[in-house]
């Protein structure tokens, strides 16, 4: 499976931080849906691909390279 890399370094760092915060808040508050959102944010940061960016044509990588 070839995923298009469309998440840049700054975007990745923000996603890792927001995902971690969402998971912690979800655990503290008992809101399971926050944990799911946090996992999605961390997964998109890890793989460097955001499916929501594809139809919108958004690419936050520095050089705009695909792949």
Quote the pLDDT of residue 66.
54
Residuewise pLDDT in 10s, the chain (67 residues): 678 899 999 999 999 999 999 999 999 999 999 999 999 999 999 999 999 999 999 999 987 555 5
CA distance 19 to 38: 4
**Residue 3: per-residue pLDDT:** 84
CA 56 from centre of chain: 15
């Amino acid at each position: 499976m070839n995923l298009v890399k469309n998440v840049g370094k700054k975007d990745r760092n923000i996603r890792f931080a927001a995902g971690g915060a969402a998971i912690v808040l979800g655990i503290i508050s008992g809101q399971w849906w926050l944990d799911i959102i946090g996992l999605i944010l961390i997964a998109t940061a890890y793989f460097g691909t955001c499916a929501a960016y594809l139809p919108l044509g958004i690419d936050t990588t520095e050089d705009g390279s695909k792949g």
